[in-house]
Structure 1
Amino acid sequence: MSEPSPKEQEVILEQLRAQLVKQDLMHEGDTIGTDDFTLLRFLRARGYDVKASVEMWAKCQEWRKTMDGVGIDELYTKMDAYDFPERREVFEYWPMWFHKTDKEGRPVSIQHYGAVNIPELYKHITPERFWWYVVTMAESIPREIIPTASRAAGHQVDGTFLIVDLKGYSLGQFWQMKDLVRAAFQIMQDYYPELSAKFFIINAPWSFTTIWSLLKLWLAPRTIEKMDVLGGDYQAVLLKHVDAENLPAFYGGTSCNEYLQQ
């Protein structure tokens, strides 16, 4: 289905809201979010098919209640993704952080896959706790990151601006982390849909052809459509979307090379 007009979206949105209420799948105060932006994300993920969007929402609500036997709300109170005992070591061996915003007010999310070292990571944090970190980080995006960015921008921000840096990345690293990456992509597509508005892969090595052939099997077509794969000549492309003062100097901007969320 092609993108409906704003007026058509309003009609479909109200149809979805009515169905969710009727089927007892949405209640005031639900932490999944009950605002128009959240509902529209589920609609876009399912091509504005109301029935399919209801099914997706129901599965998401069930996952939120049962995730790891405790549910996402309890887990979110147990682990602060930005402040927990192993945070510094986790950042050292799997660096990912937020750094300012793009020209549309979207939070810039950076993940440096080339620096990932799974064996060293698991010397400092258990696989279970690291997965909790991944999930609570994902949960923080619609709960905290996007609302904060939207207030700062003065309008509803439509998602994050994601940069995945593959500088120094090897096939060996990919095989070490592939199950985690696949699981992370899966929860983002199934339970946090349409949160990446822009997605750039930079410093892609020659071996990325092999990696990409596998990644495409895991990704929804809408996700693939948003992705741009760049080699080492990416600075001009990023600067089209991010003001120089908001882009770290090591990516061609003038912002300090400080990791803001380490």
Structure 2
Amino acid sequence: MSGFVGDLSEKQSKALNELKSRLDGVDLPEPDDVNIDSYLLKWLRARQFNVEQAEHMLRNHLSFREKWNVQSLLDNWHPPEVLDKYMVGGLCGFDKGGSPVWYEPFGYFDPRGVVLSSTGNDLTKMKIQICEEILSQLRSQTKKLGKPIDRMVIVFDLEKAGLSHIWKPFIDRYNLILQIFEAHYPEMLKKCFVINAPAFFSIGFNLIKKFLSEATKNKVVVLGGNYQDVLKEAIGEDLPAHFGGTVCDPDGDPRCVSKIRFGGKVPESFYLKDNFMHEGRLTEVNIGHGSNLELTYEVKEEGHVLKWEFMTRHNNIGFGVFYQPSPDTKRAQWEEVVERTRCSCHLVPEIGGYSCEKLGTYIVQFDNSFSWMRGKKVLYLIEIQKEGDHES
């Protein structure tokens, strides 16, 4: 049995009912008119119908949405100009089964320029927005067609791609995005067509495939330059002319740039390294190999934001934020409010903030425990500011 609504074995039905029971009363992020069975089944499929693992995965996702304040991200945040202009990709039409199709002309992307001109935090926010946009499109198609449409198709175009596209600092960031996709947007991929794959494709794929589930890897179809017939068979009349179909923009552009961003070279005027916002006020510390640094900040009034700005002299550093409700709260009970991630911030500063909705103690952690050979020099500025005094 496939594990989708209407095609469940007795064991799968039992697992679904048990998961529903375990989540009774939990506020799920999907709208009320979404089929709850369809929503829960994707978490079960992602964990081979192991109820305990599926519940853990879903509860982690709910925590993730709270940490990233996803609803506010959708309602109030807009990507910085450099990402809006120079990231690649977009939704354009549907395949023959009604699934939305995302085109990513990766060969037109400038990895080095984007890394040097944007923070990892902003790139992650943008990718979360895109995933949520696709989920919204899936819900719309489900209503329109009267049948479950819960997966998308990706066309990943490597025309013009070179070795610069597997630059390690970018791959490090991209792998973090892939981990988010796998952990928080499971079972969303129907098929990924990699087209115009160059000879070195296997090198790049080896750098990222360890972050992909077996199910995801099995959905990747690698094609060379003769891909048009395969895409026509899968997508049909909605295929843009640039990719072998007939669809063009109203002005005749075969690339459909009104829907698909084709990126381009990022001007150096966008680069951030020479624009560290508060360089004269930074504290510099040495964090030894295998150790970490924890900084404590007290929030005694409502309406405050914890703001940070930091970079390393060399190599990456882990960063996260924890909440301690009271002084006697044991460390094991601290709440992780900003998920710990490794930041490649030796090339460009990492800038971000967290809205402190709860009063109490916030602990900022710079983590170098993963490095047994290298100490790290970190320059940072961390402040508690009133909500209206900071820029989002």
TM over 0.5, shorter chain: yes
Residue 6 of structure 1, aligned match among 8, 17, 24: 8
> Which position in structure 2 is the counterpart of 1:45?
46
Higher relative strand content? 2
1:94–1:112 Cα contact (<8 Å) kept? no
Which amino acid in structure 2 is aligned with residue 57 of structure 1?
Answer: L
> Which position in structure 2 is the counterpart of 1:76?
74
| Higher Rg of the two aligned structures | 2
Cα pair distance change 1:111/1:91, threshold 3 Å: farther
For residues 120 and 18 of structure 2, the distance between their equivalents in structure 1, rounded to whole angstroms, comes to 41
Are 2:147 and 1:145 equivalent residues in the alignment? no
Match of 2:147, SS state, is: coil
Higher relative helix content? 1
> RMSD across aligned C-alpha pairs, in angstroms?
2.2
Match of 1:96, SS state, is: strand
CA deviations on 1:165-195 (whole Å, 9 max, x unpaired) are 1111122122152123211211111011010
- Report how many residues are paired: 246
For residues 13 and 119 of structure 1, the distance between their equivalents in structure 2, rounded to whole angstroms, comes to 45
Which amino acid in structure 1 is aligned with residue 218 of structure 2?
Answer: E
1:114–1:168 Cα contact (<8 Å) kept? yes
1:149–1:157 Cα contact (<8 Å) kept? yes
Match of 1:168, SS state, is: coil
For residues 91 and 167 of structure 1, the distance between their equivalents in structure 2, rounded to whole angstroms, comes to 21
Identity over aligned pairs, percent: 28
Cα pair distance change 1:77/1:14, threshold 3 Å: same
For residues 54 and 120 of structure 2, the distance between their equivalents in structure 1, rounded to whole angstroms, comes to 32
Match of 1:242, SS state, is: helix
For residues 94 and 230 of structure 2, the distance between their equivalents in structure 1, rounded to whole angstroms, comes to 15
TM-score by length of 1: 0.85
For residues 44 and 57 of structure 2, the distance between their equivalents in structure 1, rounded to whole angstroms, comes to 9
> Which position in structure 1 is the counterpart of 2:64?
63
1:79–1:133 Cα contact (<8 Å) kept? no
Structure 2 unaligned segments of length 5 or more: list them.
249-253, 262-392
Cα pair distance change 1:251/1:91, threshold 3 Å: farther
Which amino acid in structure 2 is aligned with residue 153 of structure 1?
Answer: L
Cα pair distance change 1:118/1:75, threshold 3 Å: same
Deviation of 1:141 (Å): 2.1
Match of 1:111, SS state, is: strand
For residues 90 and 115 of structure 2, the distance between their equivalents in structure 1, rounded to whole angstroms, comes to 19
Question: Relative contact order, CA 8 A, sep 6+: which one is greater?
Answer: 1
Which amino acid in structure 1 is aligned with residue 47 of structure 2?
Answer: R
Deviation of 1:212 (Å): 1.8
Displaced runs of 4 or more, over 6 A: none
> Which position in structure 1 is the counterpart of 2:23?
20
Match of 2:142, SS state, is: helix
1:113–1:165 Cα contact (<8 Å) kept? yes
> Which position in structure 2 is the counterpart of 1:97?
90
> Which position in structure 2 is the counterpart of 1:183?
176
Residue 150 of structure 2, aligned match among 133, 158, 168: 158
2:112–2:170 Cα contact (<8 Å) kept? no
